[in-house]
Amino acid sequence: MASENVASLAVSERAGRAPVRFDTSRLVLYAFAALLCVLVILPMTWLVIYSLTDRAGAFTLANFQRLFTEAAFVDPLIVTFTVAVSSSIICCAVAAPMGWLVARTDLPFSRVIRALVTASFVTPPFLGAIAWELLAAPNSGLLNKFFRFLTGAPQDEYLFNIYSMTGLIFVISCYTFPYVFVLIANSLDRMPGDLEDASSILGGRAWTTARRITIPLALPALLAGAIVAFLQATTLFGSPAILALPAGFHTMTTKIWSLFQYPPKPELAAAASLPLLIITVMLLRAEHFILGRRGYSVVAGKQSSPRLIRLGRLKFVAIGACFFVLLLPVILPYSALINAAFAPIATTPLTFANATLRNFNFVFFELSATKPVLKNTFILGALAATIGTVLAVVIAYLTTRKAVHGYRILAFLATAPIAIPGIVLGVGLFLSYTRPPFVLYGTIWVLLLAYLTIELPAAYQQLQSALRAVHPELEDASRILGATRMQALRQITAPLLRTSVIATWCFIFVSVIRELSAAIILFTSETKVVSVLIFDLKESGDLGAIAVLGLLMLLLTFAVVIFVNRIPGFGSATRLRNT
């Protein structure tokens, strides 16, 4: 009653002495809707137009006919499907037991294992592929050299060949299984222990309980993980470009990239991009359907913590298996990069006698491209992080508070880019901005548009979750006292979201530094970024310089991740996400 009186007095006072302010929310809606259309709808529209026209501009289906009849396009489709299916199976087979061990047993060093999985997660897949090239190239790989040293085998014999279909599947699996692990471990962490306790009380053994209780409850997360792994393997560009092309075969992403080499064939690139887009949309809808099913929900009151299973002597076997798995995506590749950075020759074992800083001197003082590339990368990272965070805050506010008509359209446009693979977005932006009235190709602005589009869904979802935790009563009080919605957002809500805003800015910045798929289509000699420079150095064979730049990228990434997790109130809620 008292609050109502205060509100009435405030309204009366405002009516008596203050003019009614014009609420700009509708204008903001139109402005942000227009921006989202530029980011999302425009490139996809040109993608469809180009795929259905020939070079003379006439309507045709010949591009799709070639796509599904010529071996040059059918073979990459088959390879992509084979790699994706194999990687998803391997990821589930590895991540599911590891997730169960970490979440549901008394496994020692479980926090260390989670930290190493995080390290695998934040490692750019293309950098991991280069590291495994240092380790397992047939002639020069460190592991093959060690094999020949131990066995006395001749120079033309080798134990591993990373330039193969098997090698590509292995490397993709190394940097995709963390997605599956996180889904399964989080699902098991949230799963109440009541049902498992009841099964044990009724005489069910550990395997019976797992088969009838735990596995069915965790099955949606496992299926969603398989879909995510399939999707990642389908849309990756960096790893196939580094490992498949030297082996003499293409995936769909590398085939699309090759269509931009001289002479360019943009109409075929557009037609080849659409199947990737359709597959991505279908898989994301399937993942949403699986994770959203209510048939797997547990309905109960207060939930008890799960009872950890004692491994006994098996804990040593389990911990050894976990660290062996993590040896492959983290320990061995990082060691190879450090070796290449400080050794005189990248594939020569590092010793105290031959350690050198020559590669660092070359990268930072002799390589002319380093300074402009670092400048472009940091400018684009800062701009994308700042604009993307502001954009995500406003859109999340308008949709969460249902502040304007059409908020559902805004929410759809903000999340739609998650279904667009980076290489497909790069093609769409190239086709959109190489013609009037917006000729942006060759400038950093087209790269900025790409980064904003790629990172918007994750930023929006993060800030939308944070906004839901802020009660709207403070905003309502501000509105009663005469503020518009945008003023309430700027003066009341945004300061309360400071933690999430900082974290979102940091993660967008890091993701921009790591992004390669769209940048490889859109860069020019004047707009190169670090990821593209690493790719170019790979083609020239300068592995020592690559190692230096790769370690710099990793150090910056880990510094940001550690900083974000130390923000009070955020670290415990941080979740790994899908770049």
Tens-place pLDDT, residues 171-229: 999 999 999 998 888 888 777 666 666 666 666 666 666 666 777 777 888 888 899 89
Q: Identify which has the larger pLDDT, 150 or 205.
A: 150
User: Does some domain include residue 34?
Assistant: no
Task: Enter the tokens of residue 120.
Answer: 């695998």
Enter the pTM of the model. 0.86
Tens-place pLDDT, residues 397-452: 888 877 777 778 888 888 888 888 999 999 999 999 988 878 899 899 999 999 99
Whether residue 433 is found in the same domain as residue 300: no
Write phi, then psi, for 162 (nearest 5 degrees): -75, -20
User: Does some domain include residue 68?
Assistant: no
Buried b (16+ CB within 10 A) or exposed e, 14-49: eeeeeeeeebebeebbeebbebbeebbebbbebbbe
Whether residue 322 is found in the same domain as residue 416: no
- The SS3 assignment for 439 reads strand
Indicate the residue type of 561. Answer: V
Domain boundary among 285, 317, 343: 343
User: Does some domain include residue 309?
Assistant: yes
Domain boundary among 297, 321, 343: 343
Whether residue 530 is found in the same domain as residue 578: yes
Domain boundary among 292, 320, 343: 343
Provide the residue range defining the domain that includes 384.
357-579
- The SS3 assignment for 150 reads helix
Task: Enter the tokens of residue 253.
Answer: 């992403």
Tens-place pLDDT, residues 236-259: 999 999 999 999 999 999 999 999
Partnered with residue 439 across adjacent β-strands are 434
Whether residue 162 is found in the same domain as residue 225: yes
d(C-alpha 65, C-alpha 69), whole Å: 6
How many domains does the structure of the chain reveal? 2
Whether residue 266 is found in the same domain as residue 363: no
Tens-place pLDDT, residues 520-541: 999 998 999 999 999 999 888 8
**CATH classification at residue 274:** 1.10.3720.10
